[in-house]
A and B are shown apart, each in its own frame.
Chain A
Amino acid sequence: MEYDADVIVIGSGALGNNAAYELAKQGKSVIILEAGKSIPRWKITENFRTSPRKNNYNDPYPNAATAPTSFAKDYIENTGSFAYLPGMLKLVGGTTWHWAACAWRYLPSDMKLKSLYGVGRDWPISYDDLEPYYCRAEEALGVSGRSDEDQSGQGRKHFPPRSKEYPMPSDGINYMTSRMNDRLGKLGYRFVQEPSARPTNQPYDGRPACSGNNNCMPVCPIGSMYSGDVHARHSVKAGAKLLTEATAFKLEKGSGNKIEAVHYRTAKGEDKKLTARYFIVAAHGFETPKLLLMSDVANSSDQVGRNIMDHNGLAIQFLADEPLWAGRGTVEEACIVNMRDGNHRRRYAASKHNIGNAVPNMAVTERLIAQGIFGKELDERIRHDAARWVDISSMLETLPMPSNRVIPHPTKRDALGLPTLSVHYDVPAYTEAAKDIIMRDYRRIAAGMNGSIVNEVSEWQNHDHIMGSVIMGKNPADSVVNGECRSFDHPNLFLATTGVIPAAGVVNPTLTGVALAIRTADIIAREV
């Protein structure tokens, strides 16, 4: 049989493009399908600059009817107690256009949650299996960071173990982190630098060094921060074919349980079909299970679309008693990681406090105007408060629950006539159990900075980190893919999405997703 390609990758985000690039580099013929368009960075920057909604991270990105983002009206319907509405984009490069580039590794213990702490699930692979791919992912994304810190917050030496240092050094500790560390360190809080997929002191892979625009979200205006469009370009230069405005809507089964073809719909509504030896679905944590469910494939376990996890969040804002000048460097500079690991995980969720480093002027100004402050006093107060503003948001671990679920919407259709999404999400009790502890911790931190509290956010927040939706495991009865990210049902179908992650940890899963995607590409390259 003649195939259109060795491998078809569905989705041109960071994960799909990294897999595509590795395969194309090894001489495989690759086609990448992308629902959205290819848009140059300057255009997104223009859309951001002219946007009246600067804190809506999806706003600079076109919301085409034929490629709706997650914030398109009614695109995601929520039926659970928590409205899970992650930022999700559809364009070449995917949603990493507006991540903050926090490129963490998971801890070995994250991957053995069940055996160590008796909750959740273990990963079917170990940290050691993934470690070499973490190195490759860090090189692909150009991560800068400190190799000498204990990122687990348990008073160890450098941890987790790494066989190579970060490709680039961190850009150092900014004034805010250094002052907070001075004062809160005495109370036992352990700060670590955020590893960041962003060149610090030199260009990297055609990207310039960060110039401190402090605008990682919603768009890095200079393309210093990594986003998936980098590897879209690399893939095309390595020979891959990239088809835009091509929304996959059906995977077709062939003989021997293999997937034989993908059907996609163009923006004009034409349906087309492509065949390949192997398929990688890399279409985001929600859209991937949607495609599988629409195609009625890979679901003998009935777990496709179930077990969805986020890092549900809490937050506090306070004004410290001294100027700290948030905003120097990237929007994410430092974290407090004391509760990232430890025996408490038997009882309640692990967590990590992110010290927000975005320039806070917008939030500060909105608050002051709401208080009726104007004119010269407003200018003075903006300067005063923005210098002292501390915004801490926390990410909490969640556990996979089959009832937390995404499905193709039973009735609603988008402009292409394809189902929208329906999501049911309740925050797991394991996560709820940590809430009071976190809120108490916030007050202790605020007191440590002699701060006056502005706002305590005890309503759960989205953190856009979709995991579990096509869960990975050892047992075909309760998992969608195995440790290779290969479907238990179809030997030539692989999934490259953070949706495979079976134990959530508390860190941005993108680097882990890329590491898994590169590993998947290696496995496929040996077979195809």
Chain B
Amino acid sequence: MRPFSHRLASVAGLAFCVSLSAVASAENSQTSMPANPPVVVQKNVAAASATKGFSSDLERGAYLAKAGDCIACHRGNADNAPPYAGGYAIASPMGSIISPNISPSKIAGIGTYSEQDFSRALRKGIRKDGAYLYPAMPYTAYAGLSDQDVHALYIYFMQGVAPVDEKPQAVTKLSFPFNLRLLMSGWNLLFLHDKPFKNNPKVSDEINRGHYLVDTLAHCSTCHSPRNFFMAESRRRYLTGTSVGGWYAPNITPDETEGIGSWSEEEIARYLKTGHVNGKAQAAGSMAEAIEYSLRFLSDADLRAMAAYLKTVAPQNLTGAKQSRFSFENKTPAHLVDVEPVTSRTAMAMSDAGSVDGQLLYENACASCHGRNGEGTADHFYPSLTHNSATGGLVADNLVMTILNGIERKSNDGIAGMPSYADELNDSQIAAIANYVISRFGNKAIPPVSIQQVADFRANKSTPALLMRMMPWLLSGAGFIFIVVMLIGFFRLKSLFKKRPSH
């Protein structure tokens, strides 16, 4: 079970919307069932849904399912579990969200879904039975999918996936009040912008295609955009980076210093395909998973389109960073006599593993691969720690998370891996190594890593969890929000009903 807290950030946001249950209940009493808005038939945008290269909707749907990274969550727990069997547990502070079986089984999966049902789940976050999905399902991003693509995905899931007639054994059981799925209706009213993607006539087809992929299927901003008070993505700070489940998803706007402005389009596309660009960055955590399960299967043209689009996003430097995180160097090579001091040969000294000397620990736990001077191997199979976004960024989060959790990333040029050091090193030792690495190979402006920070990362107490802990106070202080939200909800509802086409 791995935390997918980046998606759950929005679930945590639910807490702020507890008050919305009132809205939802009101809606419920009006309509006797949760609102069941029919799918709005949208005039769609051809450039977005490239159809070239596919002989059938089935084939295209299979590709789109990859692009949407559906399998990352809807996999089973066993390595040999059939595709889309579900059961994968998405950890959250409120309990585990168990991904459902989305194979076309009529008894255990979505075999009874009509295309409309399917579309409603995908784009509006509502199940066939009317229950609301948690935003662990990125329906706010999928909302922009074209009808053609939803159709192709539907064909794929109905015809291209083998039915698995078994539901996952575990069931989602969140603690109160998050177990009330109806809460989501209120949140959706505020934050689900279920408009289809629209082509921008002023830019090239390639950039439009890239924009469509980045914002819908690939749902990049789910992780890379910071979230507002309600834990909904900030549009103003689109792709400027944020913490997600312990990892830091960095600024990927084309700002020259804080973002990826120094990357060529080719490098961005290569990164999405292989998970690394030597001397710049390598994917870990949920980005490694996105590459392993999804991005590496995209066509070169699509990856290039995504890269081209990302280069057109508004560059933002929110922190005033002065030096690109990819550019830090080691200017003080270490000498052998410093790192291999004469030590005691008593049995006691030779089994005392309590040292918190960052240099000594780095030399013995890290340098055999990453080099005494952080230079890595010549082929970057073991990456350099200089010229590396994990050590040159604004925070040490990804460095600490990598030491704790290791990396295993399957991509199109092999499997990259680093072992986890969680069992071998204690919190003080990991902090010492991280601080040594940053001070020698990285951005010295990064605040020193504290032992408590490592402990929090180890316990996966990342930002959403902290928010969760503050929840009782936030809730009690949310009385006025309750009223505001009621009013907003009321007006949104009204306008929604107005827009409904009659059947």
Contact = CB atoms under 8 A, between A and B. Distances in A.
A213 B368 contact: yes
A208 B350 contact: no
Contact of A46 (B364, B382, B414, B424): B364
B408 interface: yes
Contact of A208 (B343, B363, B365, B419): B419
A47 interface: yes
B406 A206 contact: yes
Contacts of B340: 49-50
A109 B346 CA distance: 47
Interface in A367-384: none
Given A42-B361, A43-B364, A211-B368, A37 B417 contact: no
B417 A42 contact: no
A46, A221, A233: which has the most chain B beta carbons within 10 Å? Answer: A46
Interface string B332-346: 000000001111011
B359 to A, nearest CB: 11
A45 interface: yes
B361 A211 contact: no
A63 B344 CA distance: 13
The bracket for how many chain A residues form the interface is 20 to 34
Contacts of B416: 203
A134 interface: no
Contacts of B364: 42-43, 45-46, 49, 221
A201 interface: yes
A43 B343 contact: no
Nearest to A233: B423
B351 A42 contact: no
Nearest to A64: B347
Interface residues of B, number: 34
B347 A63 contact: yes
Given A40-B424, A47-B350, A211 B381 contact: yes
A211 B377 contact: yes
A62 B420 contact: no
B415 interface: yes
Contacts of A213: 368
Contacts of A233: 423
Given A40-B425, A43-B364, A203-B417, A222 B350 contact: no
A206 B340 CA distance: 28
A202 interface: yes
A206 B424 contact: no
B445 interface: no
A49 B363 contact: yes
Given A64-B351, A213-B368, A206 B363 contact: no
Interface in B327-383: 340-343, 345-348, 350-353, 360-361, 363-365, 368-369, 377, 381-382
A47 B347 CA distance: 10
Contacts of B353: 39-40, 42-43
B118 to A, nearest CB: 37
A97 B416 CA distance: 24
Interface in A1-55: 37, 39-43, 45-47, 49-51
Contacts of B343: 46-47, 50
B282 to A, nearest CB: 14
A116 interface: no
B425 A201 contact: no
Contacts of B418: 203, 208
Contacts of A222: 368-369, 419
B347 A65 contact: yes
A41 B424 contact: yes
B368 A202 contact: no
A62, A64, A91: which has the most chain B beta carbons within 10 Å? Answer: A62
A207 interface: yes
Interface string A205-221: 01111010100000001
A70 to B, nearest CB: 15
A61 interface: yes
A207 B419 contact: yes
B348, B363, B425: which has the most chain A beta carbons within 10 Å? Answer: B363
B414 A201 contact: yes
A223 interface: yes
Nearest to A37: B351
A488 to B, nearest CB: 39
A221 B353 CA distance: 15
B15 to A, nearest CB: 33
B423 to A, nearest CB: 6
A49 B342 CA distance: 9
Interface in B410-432: 414-420, 423-425
Interface in A189-248: 201-203, 206-209, 211, 213, 221-223, 233
Contacts of A50: 340-343
A207 B406 CA distance: 10
Given A202-B414, A207-B419, A42 B424 contact: yes
Contacts of A221: 364, 368
Given A60-B350, A211-B368, 16 more contacts: A40-B424, A42-B353, A45-B364, A45-B368, A47-B343, A51-B345, A61-B350, A63-B347, A64-B348, A91-B351, A201-B414, A202-B415, A202-B417, A206-B419, A206-B420, A208-B417
9 tightest A-B contacts by CB?
Answer: A203-B417, A42-B365, A221-B368, A62-B350, A62-B347, A202-B415, A42-B364, A64-B347, A40-B424
Interface of A: 37, 39-43, 45-47, 49-51, 60-65, 91, 201-203, 206-209, 211, 213, 221-223, 233
25 contacts: A40-B365, A41-B365, A42-B424, A42-B425, A43-B350, A43-B353, A43-B364, A46-B360, A46-B363, A47-B350, A50-B342, A60-B350, A64-B348, A64-B351, A201-B414, A203-B408, A203-B417, A203-B419, A206-B420, A207-B419, A209-B417, A211-B369, A211-B377, A211-B382, A222-B368
Interface of B: 340-343, 345-348, 350-353, 360-361, 363-365, 368-369, 377, 381-382, 406, 408, 414-420, 423-425
